[in-house]
C-alpha cells in the first residue's frame, strides 16, 4: 500500500511515466 502511494506521488511529479511504472499501478 505504501509503495502504491509512492508511485502515485511520482506520477504527479513526472507527467511522463515509464511503462514499468504504469504496469506497477
pLDDT digits (tens, 9 = 90+) for 1-25: 455 666 666 656 666 666 665 555 5
Concatenating the DSSP letter of every residue in the chain gives -HHHHHHHHHHHH-SS--HHHHHH-
- pLDDT of the residue at 15: 61
- Domain ranges across the chain: 1-25
- pLDDT of the residue at 19: 62
- Cell numbers given for 3: 509503495
- pLDDT of the residue at 22: 57
Amino acid at each position: 500500500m505504501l509503495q502504491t502511494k509512492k508511485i502515485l506521488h511520482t506520477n504527479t511529479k513526472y507527467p511522463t511515466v515509464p511503462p514499468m511504472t504504469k504496469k506497477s499501478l
